[in-house]
Structure 1
Amino acid sequence: MTKTFGLNRSLGGAIAIIALVAVLGSAAVLTTQGQLQAAIDARGRSNLVLRSLYSLRIAMLNQETGLRGYLLTGRPDSLEPYRQGMPMLDDALGRLHALIGGDAVRSGWLAEAEKAARSWQDEVAEAVIRGMSDAASRPEAARIESDGTGKAYFDTFRARLDAIQTEEERLREMQGEHLARAQRIAAIVSWVSTLLTLLICASIGAAIHRKVVGPLTRLAEAMRRLSRRDLTADVPATHQHDEVGAMARAVQVFKDGLIELDRTSLLRATADTLPAMVGYIDARRRVGFLNGEFERWFDLEAEDISLVDGRPLAQVFAADPFPGIGRELDEAFAGTEVRFEHRLARRGLGRREVEAFYRPHRGADGRVLGVVTLLTDITERKRMERRLALHARDLRRTNEELEQFAYVASHDLKAPLRGIENLVTWIEEDLEAVLTGDTRTNMELLKSRVRRLESLLDDLLAYSRAGRGDVATEPVDTQALVEELAGLISPPEGFSIVAGNGLPTLDAARAPLTQALQNLIGNAVKHHDRPAEGHVWVDAHTLGGMVEFSVTDDGAGIPEQFRERVFGMFQTLRPRDEVEGSGMGLAIVRKLVDRQGGKIWLDDNPKGRGLSVHFTWPDGTKGTADGTDRELAAG
């Protein structure tokens, strides 16, 4: 199920974003205002510190001025500035302690300044005042004031105040910078929040146009085209997960319905031309579709075949039951493909043989939604199959009779041939004394012709039996087989037979493969023009489910124009007096290869002079090239 996000939710989210930006902007402005106020407060506190430092200096200066006036005049009223300066000093110190009490360094400097001021009051000012009260001790009082002790205390006092003032002025300058920065930040935050709000509003407007206005406009155009049966119209916005996307998908369903309606009409028109009954039965056993061929077979009691769509199957086929309505149709609805034959009465033609094929129709979730039915009239095919079976039986009987005839003929003809050969031998013995050279030659020629005729009979019998008999397969090591045949053939001295390393072990019928390789190797040895130094190479490579063997020699070869002729029966390229052979070797090999489903051909030796015979043979471990098993290929 497609997850959708409503437009109201999207618009609500956009409004929430605007509100969030406004709140964040307001919070930022408030924060910067707080920073601005903090900077203003800090700057005001610095001004108070500087004024308190000034008051503290004035208080000490007044005290010093009153003390000096008293020393000069000796009048007690001259101490009035001193007495006024003392509470002023205490008040200024109290304010400074309150203002910079959190700063340990400046508090320490203030404590040292206060200590110096108190020490000056106790050790200098009060001593001078006591000395001036008695005329005799006034010189001592003047000495105390002028001995430098008071000046040292004042210097310490002023130095510590100057340090405090310097640090406070530095802090005041920093606070001024903070104030200016806070003012700039406040302006930037205000502008940024305004621009963000405008940008978000513009983005929302563009998104509404892209997601709503544009798709709805294109969707309306698609609907106008679909209403005119223009099925090439593309439905936009089907991928959107909102109300517009849901509307677009509904339009797409409408378009698919139109396409399906056209396809159904085309399918019905096509199915009505088929010579088979094509139908569809839904999961509720209702007719989903029947082509016109049903109307020619059944009495459906409907004016038009399309009118039966949607009706129950039992109602439509009330007169004649639908074929396989019991077990076969149940198996198809259970999810199994069913194929069976059924005898069915067709109107006006009597009973016919029908082949039925029921195939389940599954949905995306694998559930069976219905069954597609195909009923084909196979009456004529069945008749043909019966006739073919009779012909095959007659052909098999004829082949057996021909094989029996060939065996009997070859076997029965061998007895008189052996008699002729014996008679010739006896005549030679009886006429040993009077035989001339020409007569002896003719007698030898007669015996050779008898032997050749006997060989022809043997090869004819071998040809008739080639490829017949046991087709049981077994693993065959062809490299070991070729090496065994090389010893069995007994080539002339100096002749070599080489088994290639590519010869495989395959699953095959040993006897026909052995006979084919033996005939080819024997032919290569027999017909070689230089037997004392000849070579034969046997190799193979796999081709899918087949193995291609090659038997190559370096003999005289076969001209290309004669390469098809040599596969015929009793065909030789040299006179029979020059070579012993019946001309049946390659014919037997071709028959063996053909019965195994392979092919054989001749080619030049790729390494030079000579001939290369290629043939393919099925490998039962991989299956044949056409996908059948070896016994079928051999048959």
Structure 2
Amino acid sequence: MNTFANLPISRKLMTAFAAVVAVIMVSSGIVYDRLRAIEWAKDRRIHTTDVLDTLQDLKEAMLDQETGVRGYLISGDQNFLEPYHKGGDNFSAAIRKIKDLTSNNGAEQNRFDELNELAKKWRLEVAEREIALMAKPETREEARGLEGSGAGKTAMNGLRAKVDEIDRVERDLLARRDAAQRQAYATAYTMTLVGAAASLFIAVLMGVLLTRGITTPITRMTGAMAALAKGDISIEVPEVDRNDEIGAMAAAVQVFKESIIERQKTQAELAHANRVATMGQLTASIAHEVNQPISAVVTNADAALNWLGVHPPKLDKVRESLDHIVADGQRAGDIVHGIRALAKKAPPHRSRFDLNEAVLDVIALVRAEALRHGITLRTQLAEDLPQIDGERIQLQQVLMNLILNAVEAMSVLDRGARDVQICTKADPAGSVLVLVRDSGPGVDAASIERVFQPFYTTKPDGMGMGLAICRSIIEAHGGRLCVTPNEPHGATFEFTIPRS
């Protein structure tokens, strides 16, 4: 099986074809040989039948001769000699014909020569003498006496015995040839069935081998390629150890898998760099967000000390202050944990999560930065939004990039409303939709698709990688990211994520 599997596909097909053709050729050769045997037996049967028919003509000619002589002897009427002479002519013609039919058979020729000699002896020694004696009235009694002596009967009995002997030989030969023909028919029929069954078996066997050797591996390869196209690099590429075209295909798919792994590593590096750069932009905002709970902790701790300093100490107030300290500490810890999760370099990890919670976590980080630029963040989050399956940190990175881009775009406006609206809703097509709508200067219609190209930027100090990374992240999740202009100004960036 391994040898067959490692053959090139063209040789596999040729082997299968050759096996079927070989079986067909062998069975056809045997059937053809038996058909020739049938034809030969048929010709021989016809030949033997002709011999028997001619032999019957000989018998009838002998009977005509004998009847004519006896009629002439009894009645003396020469009209009875006409069947005798006619029978003699017919006998001679039948002898010539039968010897032509058996010209290639020495034994048969000898038997017919013996028959002809016996017939001549009967005519010369009996029939012709009796006819000659009957021609004269004075010798007619002698002719009848010669017939009464039994000489004619003895000679005719010898003739009949020879004819019967030849008839038995010919009928035995006919029976053997008939049996040979039936046997040839049976063999041809059997070989036709056996050949058809063998051809079917070989065809099915070759079909199974070709299915296992070609169709099944290609199907598995297609499945592996589909999984790789969806980003599943855990799939093992099958048939990489084969030496045929499928092995070459498997090697190419393996290279494709390695390139995807390398691309994902590069993408992860870029995404991490982008997150770090984004976090750098949010330094003031992060400091403000962390400072608020810390200041509240200090304030509540000071209040607790004051409540402890009175006489008697108001322990219920101290407990309330301590509860506030715990809550503020947890809030500061949550902020630091979120910042650390965004900033740290870790492999992607998919999980099911609530998109609305992820959106609120991002807004908590960028709110201070927006307020610093005089921009209001508004949310319109759909209730009962289904959970999605994805990489939470990467999707938060996309949302953060879109919000900060909107904030930066509107920071240059001198007047007018400055707000960013973040919306989530369920898409009827089975996805979850996220929109980031701003009231900034918008996007030039001619640049709508170019903004997602790597290294394209409208910022003096921009790298042009943010939106390109965002689109690659969304597409890796099976979604899409696009932008549409708003009326009268502004832009809406929206992306979709499949529910599962």
**TM-score of the two chains, using structure 2 as the length reference:** 0.46
Flag the structure with more relative contact order, 1 or 2, with Cα contacts below 8 A and sequence separation at least 6: 2
